[in-house]
Amino acid sequence: MDNAQPVRFFKRGYPPPVRFAFFALLSMFLLVVDVRFRTLDTIRYGLSVLVQPVQRALSLPFSSLHDAREYLYTQSSLIRHSEELQRQLDSDSARLSQLQALTAENLQLRKLLELRDRAEFRSQLAEIIYAEKDVFRRRIFLDKGTQADIRAGQVVMDTNGIVGQITRVYPLMSEVTLVTDKDQAVPVEVLRNGLRTVVFGSGDIDHLTIRYTPVSSDIQQGDLLMTSGIDGIYPPGLPVARVIRIERDASYPFARILCAPIAEVDQYRHLLILTGQTPLPAAPEPLPDEPALGKRKVKKP
């Protein structure tokens, strides 16, 4: 019993260096075979098919987190970009509106300058500084006054026709009563046949009227009314209005004639003041034995 050998519970194999060398040579051999003959592609493909679901399941939380973060970042970036584009659009719209206004104003100024150079009378360019706030008074104020040799009674016009007449002058500005004012009257003649009449303001910015015209008068819808020049204030041949409606009733002696002003009396900021009109000679004085104009001679008992 003493010479008996001890029982070995663990079987010991080859030493580690030997096993390392064996597996290294085997790996090299498999690598060479795989590279040379592509024998392990089928095994590799099968293993990838088996491992792919596991890889997808393990990477799903990380990919979901990445997608959520990318979505939130993209959404916030798009919101900021949209707000920036909206601010840029508002700014560009304001600039475009200003540019369109300046373009229209420059076009109107160019037409006024061409009209001033082409006209036979002298004129000055003036700008509207503000308008009358009372809706029943059609008046505007220009930036020219006595310092620019502006006088009451001078005519104001735009590129289309008569706008009004200067009724009051201050040192640095002047007041213009528009032709549409209810107290304003302009002697005119029909361009088609030369019929003389007077057009009156109605208080409405878009309408003028012709009063006390007989029903049988040769005035038609669409007739152009020009200044006659017989009053010594308005130069002859300037457009004033166009007839837009005529109402004739045999029971009334006068026709009701409605006209539209030719000038854009409520649109432009720059106007022309006519300063070079030649005044008419003064009316002759009545003789001692004749009554004054508009007065009857009263006989003494």
Q: What is the pLDDT of residue 10?
A: 54
Tokens of 268: 């432009």
Q: Which domain holds residue 222?
A: 123-274
Closest CA to 114 of 225, 272, 267: 272
212 assigned to some structural domain: yes
Q: Answer whether residue 299 shows pLDDT above 50.
A: no
Total-model pTM: 0.58
Q: Answer whether residue 200 shows pLDDT above 90.
A: yes
Q: Answer whether residue 250 shows pLDDT above 60.
A: yes
> Predicted confidence band at 65 (pLDDT cuts at 50, 70, 90)?
confident
> Predicted confidence band at 279 (pLDDT cuts at 50, 70, 90)?
low
Closest CA to 159 of 131, 200, 117, 100: 117
229 assigned to some structural domain: yes
Q: What is the pLDDT of residue 300?
A: 43
Pair 211, 200: CB distance under 8 Å: yes
Q: What is the pLDDT of residue 116?
A: 64
Pair 184, 176: CB distance under 8 Å: no
> How many CB atoms neighbour CB 253 within 10 A?
11
Tokens of 284: 């002759």
27-37 mean pLDDT: 80
The CATH number covering residue 228 comes to: 2.40.10.340
Q: What is the pLDDT of residue 298?
A: 43
Condensed to tens digits (0 to 9), the pLDDT of residues 201-235 reads 988 888 899 988 888 889 999 999 999 888 778 88
Average pLDDT of the chain? 80
Between CA 201 and CA 95 the distance in angstroms is 38
179 assigned to some structural domain: yes
Lowest mean pLDDT among 122-126, 141-145, 187-191: 122-126
Between CA 151 and CA 166 the distance in angstroms is 7
Where is pLDDT greater, at 197 or 284?
Answer: 197
Lowest mean pLDDT among 34-43, 105-114, 154-163, 284-293: 284-293
Where is pLDDT greater, at 246 or 91?
Answer: 246
170 assigned to some structural domain: yes
20 assigned to some structural domain: no
Q: What is the pLDDT of residue 112?
A: 66
The 3-state secondary structure of the chain reads: CCCCCCCCCCCCCCCHHHHHHHHHHHHHHHHHHHHHHCCCHHHHHHHHHHHHHHHHHHHHHHHHHHHHHHHHHHHHHHHHHHHHHHHHHHHHHHHHHHHHHHHHHHHHHHHHHHHHHHCCCCEEEEEEEEECCCCCCCEEEECCCHHHCCCCCCEEECCCCEEEEEEEECCCCEEEEECCCCCCEEEEEECCCCCEEEEEECCCCCCEEEEEEECCCCCCCCCEEEECCCCCCCCCCCEEEEEEEEECCCCCCEEEEEEEECCCCCCCCEEEEECCCCCCCCCCCCCCCCCCCCCCCCCCC
> Predicted confidence band at 2 (pLDDT cuts at 50, 70, 90)?
low
131 assigned to some structural domain: yes
Amino acid present at 254: F
Q: What per-residue string of b and e applies to 144-183 under the rule 16 or more CB within 10 Å gives b?
A: bbeebebeeebbbbbbbbbbbbbbebeeebbbbbbbbbee
154 assigned to some structural domain: yes
Share of the chain above pLDDT 70, in %: 81
66 assigned to some structural domain: no
Count of structural domains, the chain:
1
Lowest mean pLDDT among 46-55, 153-162, 181-190: 46-55
Q: Answer whether residue 186 shows pLDDT above 70.
A: yes
Condensed to tens digits (0 to 9), the pLDDT of residues 142-167 reads 989 999 889 988 999 888 888 999 99
